[in-house]
Amino acid sequence: MSSSEARTCAWAPAHLVVEGATVSYGDKPALKEVTFCVPVGTSVAVIGPNGAGKSTLFKAMVGLLHLQAGQIMIHGLPLGHHRDCVAYVPQREEVDWRFPVTVADVVMMGRYGRLGWFKRPGKHDRAVVAHWLDRMGISDLASKPIGALSGGQQQRAFLARALVQEPHILLMDEPFTGVDVSTQEATLDLFETLHDQQVTVLVSTHDLKLSATRFDQVLLLNRRLIAFGPAREALTSQTLAEGFGGQVLFVNGAVVVDKAAHVRKPYTE
């Protein structure tokens, strides 16, 4: 997508636009001039090798990382103009599960951005939390410590915390790693509901088959944008080889990615 196309898309209602996004850690580029536009309600699988910038992109989209160049627009306005517009579920390994809070406490934290610093949760807030605890199948775990839950149950709790924000955009960083099949399916089924509610969903994953079959669009990163579009266009032998380098193999026409590999293609300007 060209820069001019991104600008055109930026001013359409309820779109996410990332234009020329550049992030570096010291002198090491993590993202270089990444540009794409996502229509409202679209589900996007974000794929790429380890260290490709997937988590960096998500953190930039919630303001946890500063852009060296470029911009991120939501509904035609820069980040920060819509309170709780973007909800973020980080990788499980980034969370301190020893923190002494209950599942209900964790989910209620998602309401704090709407409450402000000095207001206490009211009847509506408690109702929203109860709804998503039930929707994620963890109502019976509400009083349990978050650290006592299984990986799949913890993932459901953090997804509920994100959804009580009533976001326009949901970001999930590798949500299917270390969870049971039922949690994965419950999450994927939920995306269909969110589509009907016009919530845009971006999910980073290593599962190419899942990306091709359960998402509207696929975004392939390797510190720069390699491809973005429907799976049949974004996942070709050329784009996969460019994106994954030595991590991708083609065996009898099927794609095999070595998830354990940490080798990246050298970055080129």
- Structure tokens that stand for 160 in this block: 């509920």
One domain for residues 69 and 145:
no
One domain for residues 78 and 172:
yes
User: Would 214 be classed as within a structural domain?
Assistant: yes
Q: Specify whether the CB–CB gap between 227 and 239 falls below 8 A.
A: yes
**Domain final residue pick, 167, 194, 209:** 167
Span between the terminal Cα atoms of the chain, in Å: 18
One domain for residues 20 and 153:
no
User: Would 44 be classed as within a structural domain?
Assistant: yes
Q: What distance in Å separates the CA atoms of residue 254 and residue 248, rounded to the nearest whole number?
A: 10
User: Would 158 be classed as within a structural domain?
Assistant: yes
One domain for residues 162 and 196:
no
Note down pLDDT in tens along the chain; length 269 residues: 433 344 344 444 447 999 999 999 888 889 999 999 999 999 999 999 988 999 999 999 998 999 999 999 988 888 776 666 899 999 877 777 777 899 999 999 888 777 766 678 889 999 999 999 999 999 999 999 998 999 899 999 999 999 999 999 999 999 998 888 999 999 999 998 999 999 999 999 999 999 999 999 999 999 999 999 999 999 998 999 899 876 655 444 445 555 444 434 433 43
How would DSSP label each residue in the chain? --HHHHHHHHTSTT-EEEEEEEEEETTEEEEEEEEEEE-TT-EEEEE-STTSSHHHHHHHHTTSS--SEEEEEETTEETTSSTT-EEEE--GGGS-TTS--BHHHHHHGGGHHHH-SSPPP-HHHHHHHHHHHHHTT-GGGTTSBGGGS-HHHHHHHHHHHHHTT--SEEEEESTTTT--HHHHHHHHHHHHHHHHTT-EEEEE-S-HHHHHHH-SEEEEESSSEEEEESHHHHS-HHHHHHHHGGGEEEETTEEEE-TT----PPP--
**Domain final residue pick, 117, 145, 167:** 167
The answer, as to whether pTM is greater than 0.75, is yes
User: Would 69 be classed as within a structural domain?
Assistant: yes
Task: Give the range of the structural domain holding residue 201, as residue numbers without chain letter.
Answer: 1-82+168-236
